[in-house]
Amino acid sequence: MASDSFTIKTPCSSANIGPGFDVIGLALSMYLELQVTIDTSEATSDQPLNCRITYEGEGEDSGDISLDPAVNLITRVALYVLRCHDQRSFPVETHVHIKNPIPLGRGLGSSGAAVVAGVLLGKECGRLDHLTPERLFDFCLMIERHPDNVGAALFGGFVGTYLKPLTPEDVARTEIPLSEVLPPAGGVDTGMKPPNPPHGIGHHIKFPWAAEIKAVAIIPEFEVPTAKARAVLPSHYPRPDVTFNLQRITLLPAALGQSPPDPELIYLAMQDKLHQPYRQTLIPGLTEIVESMTPVTQPGLLGVCLSGAGPTILALATSNFDEIANNIIARFKKQNIVCNWKLLEPAEGTQVIRAQQ
Ligand SMILES: Nc1ncnc2c1ncn2[C@@H]1O[C@H](COP(=O)(O)OP(=O)(O)O)[C@@H](O)[C@H]1O
Ligand SMILES: N[C@@H](CCOP(=O)(O)O)C(=O)O
């Protein structure tokens, strides 16, 4: 075969949905796409690591996304997968065109999507057909260490994710610093083989989703890096707050799967005391927004939460999407924050699409 071309399509995601911190993920209908061409008719390549990257989409004008395959998150993740399988670089001559509409650092899983797409890129470029979706999840978890976003982006739909106990040796392997897992950004290839992931790090379960429920994402124009939004969280919690979240997480999957949806139950099930209250320090207006709108005051609304680590707000609703979005936008405006919004639906997981021959 002289050439191979395929597209990797990965959805964005909204993690937590209120109480499900680091557990619940929802894949949504905005997609990162990698259009990949491997031209094997070339004998050699003058591209670094045999890979040329082009990019369009979020962050394109600011130059936030590197086109160097040794720096770009997607290609570094693919190289991690390749190097675990004794392939040091991409096949000659690989072109990856990245189309990315997912806003960066807004809580819609842009990095989770990049990691999942990167793992699939490594699999396809390395012809690693033996890697099952469950094994690909292990690779994702060596990089993005909370399973909610990557679980949703890989498997699709509304998912609960969880980690099973590993042996102490395997736990140590999952805790190896990221700098030793991913190839050093822009660094020289030392020829070292990176750590293979232990088997069965993470698992998922799919929950039903009532077809009437849509997701309104209100996206502020400023970024909150996920690492920063995790750093403001405490290491210990008051027991009543933990109990509060446990009670709500028990309700959430049942409430969102039930048709017709019960607004009062969903509103209750989306409350959180483990991460949103702490993140208000980074997101002006967050508490007021989450507390001020209810299904009683706002027809069509089911519940409001922070999307992932924020600053995006996710409102689940069955109707009046414009009005709900504009109400939240007006509340952010009082804090001098400008937003746009999107109406999204649950999405399928990552697909690799090849044109019919
Ligand atoms: N398509 C992409 N290509 C390369 N890097 C990406 C891409 N999407 C996200 N990233 C990286 O992930 C960072 C955002 O990750 P993070 O702070 O976790 O926010 P998010 O909530 O959007 O996942 C970006 O600043 C960028 O470094
Ligand atoms: N559970 C994580 C989810 C982070 O999601 P992101 O989309 O903001 O990367 C958290 O809340 O920190």
Point out the ligand nearest to the CA of residue 110.
1
14 Cα nearest atom in ligand 2: 7
- Residues 108-152 have pLDDT tens digits of 999 999 999 999 999 999 999 999 999 999 999 999 989 999 999
Average pLDDT, the chain: 95
Nearest CA to ligand 2 atom 12: 309
Q: Residue 15, class by beta-carbon neighbours within 10 Å (0-12 exposed, 13-18 middle, 19+ buried)?
A: buried
- Residues 245-267 have pLDDT tens digits of 999 999 999 999 999 999 999 99
The answer, yes or no, to whether any atom of ligand 2 lies below 6 A from the CB of 111, is yes
103 Cα nearest atom in ligand 1: 22
Question: What distance in Å separates the CA atoms of residue 278 and residue 288, rounded to the nearest whole number?
Answer: 13
Average pLDDT over residues 217-241: 97
The answer, yes or no, to whether any atom of ligand 1 lies below 6 A from the CB of 69, is no
Domain ranges for the chain, please list them.
Answer: 3-204+346-353, 210-344
Asked if pLDDT for residue 297 goes beyond 70, the answer is: yes
Question: What distance in Å separates the CA atoms of residue 116 and residue 73, rounded to the nearest whole number?
Answer: 11
Instruction: Kindly give the distance from the C-alpha atom of residue 308 to the centroid of ligand 2, in angstroms, as a whole number.
Output: 4
Instruction: Kindly give the distance from the C-alpha atom of residue 109 to the centroid of ligand 2, in angstroms, as a whole number.
Output: 7
Q: What is the ipTM of this complex?
A: 0.99
Point out the ligand nearest to the CA of residue 31.
1
Question: What distance in Å separates the CA atoms of residue 22 and residue 5, rounded to the nearest whole number?
Answer: 35
Mutation pick for ligand 1 pocket among 36, 62, 76, 111 (CB with most ligand atoms within 8 Å):
111
Assign domain 3-204+346-353 one CATH number from 3.40.190.10, 3.30.230.10, 3.40.50.150, 1.10.3720.10: 3.30.230.10
- Residues 182-226 have pLDDT tens digits of 987 777 788 888 999 999 999 999 999 999 999 999 999 999 999
Distance of CA 128 to CAs 28, 135, 154, Å? 27, 11, 17
Torsion angles phi and psi, residue 305, rounded to 5: -150, 170
Q: Which fold has domain 210-344?
A: Alpha-Beta Plaits (3.30.70)
Point out the ligand nearest to the CA of residue 72.
1
Instruction: Kindly give the distance from the C-alpha atom of residue 298 to the centroid of ligand 1, in angstroms, as a whole number.
Output: 33
The answer, yes or no, to whether any atom of ligand 1 lies below 6 A from the CB of 77, is no
First-to-last C-alpha distance (Å) of the chain: 12
Q: In which order are the strands placed within the sheet that holds 301-306?
A: 301-306, 313-317, 214-220, 339-344
